[in-house]
């Protein structure tokens, strides 16, 4: 994060409003600056203002609440701190403020306010204390402890940062320098390496059970598969044809049944037609009569209307004499009523002044009665309100008593668990250390699992090496046997051929065959060589020497015997060469198999060495992790001893974190409850005072109303009764007139 602007007012010795704009060219041009001044000049107050604006507290002041504020300047009624800062996610403005009642120096402290907003648009993101803390941590990536240990080191705390454990310093430095990505990359690479190694081991385990077929077996299985597929195709075609035939037969059967059903239905319909013939004839007659129904109905209605008119006319003629006599009587009554009305009007005209006076007195009497009634109703309502206020006052006093009881319980809890107050500021660090401890424990469990895996891999590698060594021994023996048999075959061939080569015997055989051919030719030319003479040229070749002519022609039987002997020798030699070639192939195969076995043995030996090395590395890492875990555990135990925790079982680290969080929440809840109850008691006291004042005011007003009401009831007009009596005797009632 980068701080852009700082504003504050009435903090410690710096009275008034102050502003530091770090975007001003004087600061931005150099890029580096220092806050200097003599002791007490307020240099640390600037840092306190930054910390107060961001987190609502400072390294020197653990918390600022309604019950206590030691950072506000003396003889001032308000203070605030505001910081504008920038992160990778945007620009923010964080504002903290607190004031006294009516902003007077002697007023009661009010609850502090804290908010975070967008510095550009002014949109407020959060205004609740806890929500602002979460927003700050989300925006900057640092809570209060990390901020005060890295970005802002209070006086005397730089040595604490330098002397902190590497595991505590490393996350802070990574966060400051932005190099935490390399730790994440390292963790991710380690995880991916472990995942791929596990996949490789799984694939190797799966391939162990796979049997590789020889090409001949594969071809045989392919031929069988091809035959089965062809049989399956033929069976599918036959099945389809059979299904079509079955569907066709089923359709034919259904159609036959439908034909039979339709025949039965036709027979039934024919019978119904014959049975309904009389009804159809009757229906025809009824249809003919229905055409005359309208005219008949009109005639009937006309006749009925005529009869009704005649009966009415007769009744009116009979009532006419009575109506005429009644009209004469009503005329006489009307004349008498008009005469009485005239007399009543004259009497009313004479009594008009008296009636006006009566009406005036009636109005005064009604107004007085209304005033008395309203006064009674107002007094009754005031009494009801006074009683309600008294009841409310009693209820408020009861609430105050109960609130004091609860406050005593809360005070007792806070006093008995005073050590839990340390969790407010120290839980974050302890929680981080416990999380690191839990992470180390998980690393130990992973190392133990890796050790078991490495032990298993070492056992498998050792077994594989033994198998490869046995296989190498087998192929070595087979190679020795093949070499021995090959040497025996070569020795037999050498013994058979002697000092000569097989091609020499073949050449000799070919020579003898050619000689046999020459002898045969000579035999055929016997007629010619008999005629040869010494000293005369041969007619065929022109030679003058004729050895055959002197009786030196060899006998063919000896040559044939030699050829037969050579043929048998060459055959045996060729057979022996075929055997030798076969033995050479067996020797090459055995040598090849031995080479492969030696490669597998070498690979197995390398795997065994790698497994031994991996197991040793895992054991060393496990020992280091356990030592580190024990050291971290002892540090955390020392830190938690003020809370009454003397030991941390390895199996209860997570539950310990939850229990500490629960204790912190309970403590915070009790503190909040304490503040709320104190506020409630103050509110109740204010309400009781208000009710006392209201009851006193209403009682005074009610007393005045009762006195005025009594006076009003005593002042009744005396002449009302006599006037009413006189009026009643002189004016006749309208009923008698009517």
pLDDT of residue 5: 93
353-416+653-730: in CATH 1.10.10: no
Contact 730, 354 (CB under 8 A): yes
pLDDT of residue 178: 54
Sorted by where each begins, the domain ranges of the chain are 2-163, 222-277, 353-416+653-730, 424-530+554-642
What is the rounded distance in angstroms from the CA atom of residue 331 to the CA atom of residue 239?
117
pLDDT of residue 737: 32
- 554 against 36, higher pLDDT: 36
Closest CA to 83 of 42, 123, 41, 116: 116
Mean pLDDT of 303-326: 79
Is the pLDDT confidence value at 462 over 50? yes
Contact 171, 149 (CB under 8 A): no
pLDDT digits (tens, 9 = 90+) for 64-86: 888 888 888 888 999 999 999 99
How many CB atoms within 10 Å of residue 171? 15
Q: Which residues contact 635 (CB under 8 A, 6 or more apart)?
A: 165, 433
How many CB atoms within 10 Å of residue 59? 19
What is the rounded distance in angstroms from the CA atom of residue 82 to the CA atom of residue 115?
10
pLDDT digits (tens, 9 = 90+) for 106-122: 888 898 999 999 988 88
Average pLDDT, the chain: 77
590 half-sphere exposure, CB direction, 13 A CA radius: 20
Q: Which residues contact 352 (CB under 8 A, 6 or more apart)?
A: none
Question: What tokens appear for 657 in the block?
Answer: 């974190």
Q: Pick the range with the lowest mean pLDDT from 61-65, 133-137, 232-236, 352-356.
A: 352-356
Q: Alpha-carbon dihedral of residues 206, 208, 210, 211, nearest 10 degrees?
A: 180
> What CATH number is given for 424-530+554-642 in this structure?
1.10.287
Question: What tokens appear for 218 in the block?
Answer: 């594969």
Whether 424-530+554-642 and 353-416+653-730 are alike in CATH topology: the answer is yes
Is the pLDDT confidence value at 440 over 90? no
Contact 100, 78 (CB under 8 A): yes
Mean pLDDT of 662-670: 77
Q: In this structure, which topology does domain 2-163 adopt according to CATH?
A: Rossmann fold (3.40.50)
Best-predicted range by mean pLDDT (35-39, 230-234, 392-396, 500-504) = 230-234
Q: Pick the range with the lowest mean pLDDT from 128-142, 406-420, 594-608.
A: 406-420
Q: Is this model's pTM higher than 0.75 or not?
A: no
pLDDT digits (tens, 9 = 90+) for 226-266: 898 888 888 989 888 898 889 888 889 888 888 998 888 88
pLDDT of residue 738: 29
- 18 beta partners: 8
pLDDT of residue 725: 45
Distances (CA, A) of 174 to 55, 165, 166, 179: 22, 14, 12, 5
pLDDT of residue 519: 67
Mean pLDDT of 386-395: 83
Q: Pick the range with the lowest mean pLDDT from 422-436, 562-576, 689-703.
A: 422-436
Best-predicted range by mean pLDDT (252-266, 459-473, 618-632) = 252-266
pLDDT of residue 143: 83
Contact 618, 454 (CB under 8 A): yes
State the DSSP code for 540: T
Q: How confident is the model at residue 334 (pLDDT cuts 50, 70, 90)?
A: confident
Mean pLDDT of 38-60: 86
pLDDT of residue 614: 83
Q: Pick the range with the lowest mean pLDDT from 245-254, 376-385, 555-564, 656-665.
A: 555-564
Q: How confident is the model at residue 8 (pLDDT cuts 50, 70, 90)?
A: very high
> Helix 166-177 crosses helix 180-208 at what angle (to 10 degrees)?
110
Question: What tokens appear for 677 in the block?
Answer: 């109850």
φ, ψ of residue 378 to 5 degrees: the values are -65, -40
Is the pLDDT confidence value at 527 over 80? no
Cα 640 versus chain centre, distance: 35
pLDDT of residue 75: 87
Best-predicted range by mean pLDDT (352-356, 369-373, 564-568, 592-596) = 592-596
Mean pLDDT of 540-546: 63
Closest CA to 432 of 718, 178, 197, 636: 636
- 591 against 633, higher pLDDT: 591
What is the rounded distance in angstroms from the CA atom of residue 94 to the CA atom of residue 82?
6
Specify the long-range contacts of residues 368-374, CB closer than 8 Å, at least 24 apart: 368/712, 368/716, 368/717, 371/712, 372/709, 372/712, 372/713
């Amino acid at each position: 994060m980068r701080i852009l602007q700082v504003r504050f007012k009435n903090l410690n010795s710096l009275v008034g409003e102050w502003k530091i704009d770090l975007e001003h060219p004087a600061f931005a041009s150099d890029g580096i600056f220092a806050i200097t001044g003599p002791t007490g000049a307020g240099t640390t107050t600037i840092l306190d203002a930054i910390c107060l604006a961001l987190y609502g507290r400072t390294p020197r002041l653990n918390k600022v609440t309604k019950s206590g504020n030691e950072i506000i300047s003396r003889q001032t009624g308000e203070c605030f701190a505001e910081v504008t800062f920038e992160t990778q996610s945007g620009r923010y403005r964080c504002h903290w403020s607190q004031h006294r009642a009516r902003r007077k120096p002697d007023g009661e402290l009010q609850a502090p306010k804290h908010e975070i907003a967008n510095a550009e648009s002014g949109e407020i993101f959060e205004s609740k204390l806890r929500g602002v803390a979460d927003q700050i941590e989300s925006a900057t990536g640092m809570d209060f402890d990390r901020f005060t240990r890295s970005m802002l080191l209070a006086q005397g705390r730089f040595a604490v940062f330098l002397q902190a454990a590497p595991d505590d310093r490393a996350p802070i430095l990574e966060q400051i320098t932005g190099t935490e990505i390399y730790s994440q990359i390292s963790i991710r690479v380690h995880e991916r390496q472990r995942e791929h190694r596990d996949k490789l081991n799984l694939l190797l385990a799966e391939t162990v059970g796979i049997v590789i077929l020889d090409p001949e077996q594969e071809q045989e299985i392919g031929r069988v598969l091809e035959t089965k597929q062809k049989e399956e195709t033929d069976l599918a075609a036959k099945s389809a044809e059979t299904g079509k035939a079955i569907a066709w037969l089923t359709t034919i059967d259904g159609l036959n049944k439908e034909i039979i059903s339709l025949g039965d239905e036709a027979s039934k319909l024919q019978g119904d037609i014959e049975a309904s013939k009389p009804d159809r004839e009757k229906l025809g007659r009824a249809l003919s009569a229905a055409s005359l129904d309208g005219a008949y109905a009109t005639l009937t209605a006309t006749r009925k209307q005529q009869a009704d008119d005649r009966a009415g006319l007769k009744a009116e003629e009979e009532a006419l004499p009575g109506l005429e006599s009644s009209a004469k009587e009503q005329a006489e009554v009307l004349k008498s009523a008009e005469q009485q009305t005239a007399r009543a009007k004259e009497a009313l005209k004479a009594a008009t002044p008296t009636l006006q006076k009566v009406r005036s007195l009636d109005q005064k009497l009604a107004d007085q009665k209304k005033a008395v009634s309203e006064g009674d109703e107002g007094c009754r309502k005031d009494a009801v309100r006074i009683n309600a206020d008294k009841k409310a006052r009693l209820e408020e006093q009861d609430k105050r008593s109960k609130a004091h009881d609860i406050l005593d319980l809360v005070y007792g809890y806070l006093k008995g668990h005073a050590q839990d107050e340390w969790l407010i500021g120290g839980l974050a660090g302890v929680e981080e250390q416990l999380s690191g401890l839990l992470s180390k424990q998980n690393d130990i469990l992973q190392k133990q699992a890796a050790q078991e895996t490495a032990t298993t891999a070492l056992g498998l590698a050792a077994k594989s090496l033994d198998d490869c060594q046995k296989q190498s021994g087998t192929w070595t023996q087979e190679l020795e046997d093949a070499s021995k048999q090959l040497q025996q075959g070569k020795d037999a061939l050498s013994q058979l051929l002697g000092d000569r080569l097989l091609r020499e015997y073949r050449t000799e055989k070919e020579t003898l065959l050619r000689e046999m051919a020459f002898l045969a030719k000579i035999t055929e030319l016997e007629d010619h060589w008999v005629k040869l003479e010494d000293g005369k040229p041969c007619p065929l070749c022109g030679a003058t020497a004729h050895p055959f002519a002197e009786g030196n022609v060899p006998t063919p039987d000896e040559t044939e015997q030699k050829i037969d002997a050579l043929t048998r020798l060459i055959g045996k030699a060729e057979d022996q060469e075929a055997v030798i070639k076969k033995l050479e192939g067996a020797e090459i195969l055995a040598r090849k198999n031995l080479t492969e076995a030696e490669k597998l043995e070498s690979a197995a030996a390398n795997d065994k060495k790698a497994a031994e090395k991996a197991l040793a590395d895992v054991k060393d890492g496990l020992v280091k992790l356990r030592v580190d875990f024990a050291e971290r555990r002892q540090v955390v135990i020392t830190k938690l001893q003020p809370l009454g925790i003397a030991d941390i079982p390895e199996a209860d680290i997570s539950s310990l974190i939850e229990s500490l969080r629960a204790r912190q929440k309970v403590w915070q809840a009790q503190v909040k409850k304490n503040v709320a109850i104190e506020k409630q008691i103050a509110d109740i006291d204010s309400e009781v005072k208000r009710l006392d004042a209201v009851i006193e005011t209403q009682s005074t007003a009610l007393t005045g109303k009762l006195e005025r009401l009594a006076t009003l009831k005593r002042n009744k007009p005396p002449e009302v009764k006599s006037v009413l009596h006189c009026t009643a005797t002189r004016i006749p009632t309208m009923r008698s007139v009517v």
